């Protein structure tokens, strides 16, 4: 999908449903205007990555709570991996909260492997910061 078809206001609303500290519509407008960003999605979810040379970093993957558990996250990741391959990316990196089992399971099915841990990476209100599991995917391994 052409990232110009994505709506920053919708993206901000969706992002707030999945993260304690949501990003603003202005943040998403800047991301969508950036030539180094690759984004796929619709009104029910999106995946956003930053491309640097042949490396990419997943910045956010969000699915509307009403659509979670129905395979949309996997579809978005498949679309993102294909778009990144077309853009010349060889590897995709990400961080995920160590206790976000649904996301970790999705990334495992996609072929991501753990590469490290960042202690106290995700601040949480009223609780200790969560560690981030760092994962990576060789994009050619995830293509059909």
The residues annotated as belonging to the active site are 95, 107
Q: Are 80 and 139 in contact (CB under 8 A)?
A: no
What distance in Å separates the CA atoms of residue 5 and residue 57, rounded to the nearest whole number?
A: 21
What distance in Å separates the CA atoms of residue 119 and residue 103, rounded to the nearest whole number?
A: 18
What distance in Å separates the CA atoms of residue 51 and residue 79, rounded to the nearest whole number?
A: 15
| Residue 101 tokens, joined | 């089992």
What does the DSSP 8-state code read for residue 112? -
What is the distance between the terminal CA atoms of the chain, rounded to a whole angstrom? 19
């Amino acid at each position: 999908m052409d990232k110009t078809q994505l709506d920053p206001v919708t993206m901000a609303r969706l992002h707030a449903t999945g993260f304690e500290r949501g990003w603003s519509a202005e943040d998403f407008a800047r991301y969508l205007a950036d030539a180094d960003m690759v984004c796929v999605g619709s009104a029910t979810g999106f995946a956003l990555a930053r491309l640097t040379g042949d490396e990419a970093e997943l910045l956010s993957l969000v699915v509307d709570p009403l659509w979670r558990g129905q395979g949309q996250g996997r579809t978005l990741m498949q679309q993102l991996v294909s778009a990144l391959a077309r853009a010349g990316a060889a590897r995709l990196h990400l961080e995920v909260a160590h206790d976000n089992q649904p996301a970790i399971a999705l990334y495992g099915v996609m072929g991501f492997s753990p590469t490290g841990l960042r202690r106290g990476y995700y601040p949480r209100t009223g609780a200790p910061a969560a560690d981030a599991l760092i994962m990576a995917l060789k994009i050619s391994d995830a293509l059909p």
